[in-house]
Amino acid sequence: MRPSSTSPAAAWRIALSVPLFLFAFIATYLQFVRTREGQRWENEVLAAGGRGTGWLRDRNSGLLEVMDDRPLLIGAVVGVILVALVGRRWWAGLAAVVGMGLTVAASQVLKLSLLERPRLQTGPLPSHNSFPSGHVSLAMALVLALLVVLPSRLRVLAAVPGALWVASVSTATMEAGWHRLSDTLGAGLLAATVCCLAVGLLLALGKARRAVYRPGPLGLVLGWVAAVVAAGWFLVRYGDVDATATEIAMAAAQSASVLIVLAVTALLRSVELLAPVVVRGDSPAPPPVVEPPLPGPRPGSLPGPMPGPLPGQRRVASPEELRYYRQQLVP
């Protein structure tokens, strides 16, 4: 029996999220990369990339420089490991580090070796495959790894700023002309798939327990407000008749990044990634009961003075008494 194991509903939610995220990843690739209409729309957005000026271009350049700074990224990974060690979440730390490595490696293998971008549109734009984005994969993997090692009550408070940071990285890669919308969507969905798969394996191995402390009112309100604002931002830009395809694509990338992070946070809301204490049996074994010694002589020793009969009772000798008296009478 595992008294601290997670609820079946939480396990089912995480188990079903893996194929759902994977299906969304495949659908994004097929719709935007393998169709003529998808390529035409994304090429139109890509052609308008790199037009940011002033502080916007400086901000995007700074974000991309951060993502290319290896010492800084190594420090971020070490920070995730330290959070896991301080919280005594050994298995969560292992899952977070392995998940980050698998996400980054999978994005590079898929982009450079396995997935292709057929040339369905002619023009001067680059036709090589850039799906999924390595920069966004790394940014999303770092945020999701932090959510895995944090206590359940703090995840929402870290998820909202983390989601905004991923959204900024996604927008920066698009404005710089490095990636298309589908690249950022695929990167986020890939990281979410790997994260939920890692957490699901921990649940299957029994290395998790039901969360005792759920997110407080502040965390719930913050999460819902962020989700509503993210979805509303895209709907507003999509419904604006004056909005260009580039503006709609930017809003879609930003909203999708925020919603993916919040979706993973919601899936982990009732899971505390700690190794549960396994107790065999329905209850702990009771301590052995030591009975006090019975009054009277110990085995093999001579009995002491025998008590006499009570008033109104006739004395009846026990076999031990008869044996004792017989030894006294017969030398």
State pLDDT tens for residues 232-272: 877 877 777 677 878 888 889 999 999 999 999 988 887 77
Which residue in the block uniquely carries the two structure tokens 């997670």?
6
Cβ count within 10 A of residue 173: 27
CA atoms in the 13 A half-sphere facing the CB of 236? 9
pLDDT at 101: 93
Rounded to two decimals, what is the model's pTM? Answer: 0.76
pLDDT at 258: 93
How is 127-189 classified by DSSP, letter by letter? Answer: -S--PSPHHHHHHHHHHHHHHHHS-GGGHHHHHHHHHHHHHHHHHHHHHTTS--HHHHHHHHH
Contact 175, 49 (CB under 8 A): yes
Between CA 65 and CA 177 the distance in angstroms is 15
Between CA 74 and CA 4 the distance in angstroms is 34
Between CA 188 and CA 133 the distance in angstroms is 9
pLDDT tier at 329, thresholds 50, 70, 90: low
Q: Is the peptide bond before 293 cis (omega within 30 degrees of 0)?
A: no
pLDDT at 3: 39
Six token digits for residue 230: 């993210």
Contact 32, 236 (CB under 8 A): no
Domain ranges, residue 54: 8-272
More reliable by pLDDT, 227 or 214: 227
Six token digits for residue 172: 């920066």
Between CA 85 and CA 101 the distance in angstroms is 19
pLDDT tens, 154-209? 888 899 999 999 999 998 888 888 888 999 999 999 999 999 999 988 888 887 76
Judged against a pLDDT cut of 80, whether residue 56 lies above it is answered with: no
Task: Examine residue 216 and state whether it is found in any structural domain, yes or no.
Answer: yes
Contact 315, 306 (CB under 8 A): no
Q: CA-based diameter of the chain, in Å?
A: 127
pLDDT tier at 276, thresholds 50, 70, 90: very low
pLDDT tens, 57-76? 556 666 777 777 788 888 88
pLDDT at 292: 58
Task: Examine residue 286 and state whether it is found in any structural domain, yes or no.
Answer: no
Task: Examine residue 19 and state whether it is found in any structural domain, yes or no.
Answer: yes
Judged against a pLDDT cut of 50, whether residue 54 lies above it is answered with: no
pLDDT tier at 119, thresholds 50, 70, 90: confident
Q: For the chain, what's the residue count? A: 331
Task: Examine residue 223 and state whether it is found in any structural domain, yes or no.
Answer: yes
How confident is the prediction for the chain on average, in pLDDT?
A: 79
**If we measure between CA atoms, which residue out of 79, 140, 73, 61 comes closest to residue 107?**
140
Task: Examine residue 322 and state whether it is found in any structural domain, yes or no.
Answer: no
Looking at the DSSP bridge assignments, the partners of residue 272 are 209
pLDDT tens, 71-99? 888 888 999 999 999 888 888 899 999 99
More reliable by pLDDT, 294 or 196: 196
Q: Residues of 22-59 as b/e, b for ≥16 C-beta within 10 angstroms? A: bebbeebbeebbeeeebbebbbbbbebbeebeeeeeee
Cβ count within 10 A of residue 164: 17
Six token digits for residue 148: 């895995």
Six token digits for residue 67: 């993502």
Six token digits for residue 106: 């999978």
Task: Examine residue 80 and state whether it is found in any structural domain, yes or no.
Answer: yes
Which residue in the block uniquely carries the two structure tokens 């002491």?
304
Amino acid type, 175:
E
Task: Examine residue 186 and state whether it is found in any structural domain, yes or no.
Answer: yes
Judged against a pLDDT cut of 60, whether residue 283 lies above it is answered with: no
pLDDT at 136: 94
State the total domains in the chain. 1
Between CA 134 and CA 111 the distance in angstroms is 8
- Output DSSP code: residue 18: H
Task: Examine residue 324 and state whether it is found in any structural domain, yes or no.
Answer: no
Between CA 25 and CA 114 the distance in angstroms is 14
β strands within the chain, DSSP E = 209-210, 271-272
Between CA 267 and CA 269 the distance in angstroms is 6
